[in-house]
Chains A and B, each alone.
Chain A
Amino acid sequence: MAETSTDNSSAAGIDLSQFYQVFFEEAGENLENMEQLLLELDITAADDEELNAIFRCAHSIKGGAATFGFSDVAELTHQMETLLDKLRRHELAPTPAMVDVLLQSGDALKAMLARHQGAGGGEIDTTELLFNIRAMVAGEAPVAASAAAAAPVAMAAPAAPTAPAVATPAASAGAAPTTGKRTVELRVGPLDNMSQADNLLELFKEITDLGVISPLPDDPSLPRTRRFTLDTSTAESELLDLFTFHVSREQVSFVALAGSAGPATAAPTEEKDAGFGFFDPLPDASPAAASVAPEGPAAAPERGYGFFDNAPGAPAGQPGGAAADASSSLVPAASAPAAAKPAAAAAKNDKPAAALEASTIRVSVEKVDQLINLVGELVITQAMLAQNSRGLDPVVYQQLVTGLTDLDRNTRDLQEAVMSIRMIPMSTVFSRFPRMLRDLANKLGKKVELVTQGEATELDKGLVEKITDPLTHLVRNSCDHGIEMPADRLAKGKPEVGTITLAASHQGGSIVIEVRDDGRGLNRDKLIKKAREKGIDAPDSMTDQEVWNLIFAPGFSTADQVTDVSGRGVGMDVVKKNITSLGGTVEIDSAEGYGMRVAVRLPLTLAIMDGMSVGVGEEVYILPLSSVVESFQVSTEMVKTIGGSGRVVEVRDEYMPVIELEKVFNVPRFDWEHNSGIMVVVEAESGRVAMLVDELLGQQQVVVKNLETNYRKVSDVSGATIMGDGRVALILDVGSLIRRSRH
């Protein structure tokens, strides 16, 4: 959490930046969604579902931010989440002030994200927001920062790793007036390199309007912190903006001077730091100090350029990079990393974003679908042309025939290309996880190895987008709750390193994505106990499966402690909700002490699929090819009845129920002579049946159309498609047909 994006990129072998864009887009959507929900929220009668939805938005942003190391975003969302969690648990009643603060936080998040995306701008000051949120969480009325008491600071401290650094300035900043002509004490620290503070002296020298600054002796109670008196009429926020070129915002605090100006001395301060002599706050030291500064210009607003151009020590007109080089050669080794690091950060902020923008564009799925529709139309037209031109004499109409052949080929290529837009291999999803898991395991002090299987399994783009968040939750859960601490594992006779397996595969018309771990598994008694605490009816007679499913209840968490990783009990209900909305299912298997397995099964509701067309009477139906096992001709003797009506057929020593499509769909018959004579054996998750049809017409790729768009759900039908002749054919829902055969 405390890591910055700089640390991440340098420490990791994997370049996470390729996923930044995805995160920014998702976070942007979540923010918009949250704002919308907040604005619609009826405070007097807040709907649980709405509060849950707002909470989930914040949770998703936090999750992503933590994964990618945007600690400022994660910190703010963590606080928002704490507040929202209390709201949805009805521990607090929503107030308009809360909505305001949450909306402001949303704005701040937007600004932060923009900054991380390389839009420039200074650090976003969230101290007041954080402070207000914490106050609200504690049940206090929101107060202006100036009323800061000691209590919130103490309370905030354990909230997040970065909190102490932020909280201290928050409290002390409160006591100082922030605008108008005033004299305040300026504290800068804690600093890695004390010389950074001296750049501020330079700053005030350059911009005389800012006011008068003079150093104060160091205070032993504030280690690694420089103090100054500041006589200024510039607004605090503006000062902070300027200071951020040299020191980070969190390191700066304004404190009211006790009584009159303290024992301010203009004398050079005594230095304990050995390397500090180089940076004595003397005017002639400016070349060195100013050359350290070029970290700023890379990401600085114009105001910053003005300053550096005028700096006597800075080589005028020299590009930033060269200046940075110069600085690292000029300054002593000890301070070089300090200068290099921010410069790298600035460069990093700009480059990945720009590179990504150049190589990909984000297009709404709607547009792709429209494209697919149009290509579908084109294919139909092309087929019609091909059919009509078949009788033409190729010698007479040579050019036309050649043209049509080209059209045929081009149409096919075009269709393939357009379809491929939607398909992406699972590896794009899986590749997010190794890094996330590594960080997570480090943070939790666990040892975890990630194994991925079936990365090449292709998945529809729409599904990938929707499956990523649930999978992230599942992997986090496995790591946080599943895998034990290394010592515990050894004590249980397990290998020290836990294994989390991500596996994707196609199974009978579905895509199954599994998250397995060899951790502690679920504890039946604990789950039942927890459920009862939550007021969920949980009799002892529940099957294991039912007990496992308890974890999908909203707000359900078996974790003893709420961490910023997981344990708030979101995750699972969101996972279930997301997957159900895709028409999929989630199954849990668990063996206590040995691990658990969560299998996400998604129907192949892709925009396109391989279908087998079968004829029944005059009608054509499409079977998903993936569910077709085999087909064979039958004679009436092969079909036996059970109880007079139930019909079965023996296939390879196995009796299978027979479904007559003719009867299921009441197909009108005109040719009484003709008999259905083909059995197609189909399978779905629930089993196998033999389907009686008239004929097999062929096999083709079909574009899946939704019947619900303009009509309604039709039983036993999963969708429709448009055939080569322009007519509509219904796609059968094999799962539902098989269930029908059972009842």
Chain B
Amino acid sequence: MGMMEKLDVQSELAREYLTFRLGDEEYGIDILRVQEIRGYESPTRIANAPHFLKGVVNLRGTIVPIVDLRLRFGCSSAEYNAFTVSIILHIGQRTIGTVVDSVSDVMEIPAEAVREAPEMNSAIDAAYIRGLAQVGDRMVILLDIESMLMSPDMALID
């Protein structure tokens, strides 16, 4: 963790984010956590898992769980079509896939452009939001994807 924090401080000034869309919202995650982006392939269902866990897929010989962020964030619709993509993330020692509507951009967002998210009642705990960034006329929600996926309520780890 110590090293992570150090990284955080170093790159606090300007970071690159991968932004993606979930419904009408645009989110950004630290690009360093992204391993690859793949088309969505239907996973093998895991019984009795939370509804946002779509199942597991074979990623070149390793079994990777797939989380649908749209279901996690309570988006109104979660369709699987040709544009649906999986972002494969590398978190700690683990590889985890997330499903999003579409990937938009890689953008550098300077620290001063990041505003604190207000305390409010939403499907995402404020602790997992690093901040809100204004990019042009768009608002990007910067997610702390690592702590969000590793949180106990995601039930991704024992």
Contacts and interface: CB of A to CB of B under 8 A. Distances in A.
B40 to A, nearest CB: 14
B147 interface: no
27 contacts: A373-B61, A373-B62, A377-B61, A619-B45, A664-B47, A667-B47, A705-B62, A705-B63, A706-B63, A709-B63, A710-B62, A710-B63, A710-B95, A711-B63, A711-B64, A711-B156, A711-B157, A712-B158, A714-B49, A720-B44, A720-B56, A722-B58, A726-B58, A728-B43, A728-B56, A729-B44, A730-B44
B81 interface: no
B6 interface: no
A729 B48 CA distance: 16
A665 interface: yes
Given A711-B63, A728-B43, 18 more contacts: A373-B61, A374-B61, A619-B44, A619-B45, A665-B47, A705-B62, A707-B56, A709-B94, A710-B94, A711-B65, A711-B156, A711-B157, A712-B155, A712-B158, A717-B46, A728-B44, A728-B55, A730-B46
Contacts of A377: 60-61
A687 to B, nearest CB: 23
A440 B19 CA distance: 69
Contact of A715 (B48, B57, B96): B48
Given A705-B62, A728-B44, A712 B94 contact: no
A341 interface: no
A713 interface: yes
A718 to B, nearest CB: 13
Contact of B62 (A664, A709, A717, A726): A709
Interface residues of A, number: 28
A713 B63 CA distance: 13
Task: Give the most central of A377, A666, A728: most B CB within 10 Å.
Answer: A728
Nearest to A725: B58
A506 B157 CA distance: 33
A450 B157 CA distance: 47
Interface of A: 373-374, 376-377, 619, 664-667, 705-715, 717, 720, 722, 726-730
Given A665-B47, A711-B156, A727-B44, A722 B61 contact: yes
Interface in B76-117: 94-96
A357 B44 CA distance: 45
A418 to B, nearest CB: 13
Interface of B: 43-49, 55-58, 60-65, 94-96, 155-158
A710 B96 contact: yes
B91 to A, nearest CB: 9
Contacts of A722: 58, 61, 63
Contacts of B58: 722, 726-728
Contacts of B60: 377
B150 to A, nearest CB: 12
B96 A376 contact: no
A713 B44 CA distance: 15
Task: Give the most central of A664, A711, A712: most B CB within 10 Å.
Answer: A711
B64 A710 contact: yes
A666 B47 contact: yes
A707 B63 CA distance: 6
A676 to B, nearest CB: 16
Contacts of A665: 47-48
A571 to B, nearest CB: 31
Contacts of A727: 44, 58
Contacts of B47: 664-667, 714
A601 B111 CA distance: 58
A627 B13 CA distance: 59
Contacts of B43: 728
Contacts of B46: 711, 714, 717, 730
A728 B61 contact: no
A715 B44 CA distance: 15
A712 B157 contact: yes
A400 B94 CA distance: 40
A389 B44 CA distance: 27
3 tightest CB-CB pairs across the interface, nearest first? A665-B47, A373-B61, A728-B44
A711 B63 CA distance: 8
Task: Give the most central of B63, B64, B156: most A CB within 10 Å.
Answer: B63
B42 to A, nearest CB: 8
Contacts of B155: 712
Nearest to A617: B45
A617 to B, nearest CB: 10
Contact of B158 (A619, A705, A713, A730): A713
Task: Give the most central of B43, B48, B56, B62: most A CB within 10 Å.
Answer: B56
A615 to B, nearest CB: 13
Nearest to A707: B63
Nearest to B57: A728
A705 B61 CA distance: 8
B66 to A, nearest CB: 10
A215 to B, nearest CB: 66
Contacts of B158: 708, 712-713
A411 to B, nearest CB: 15
A666 to B, nearest CB: 5
A667 B55 CA distance: 13
A720 B63 contact: yes
A262 B151 CA distance: 81
A717 B63 CA distance: 14
Task: Give the most central of B46, B48, B64, B156: most A CB within 10 Å.
Answer: B46
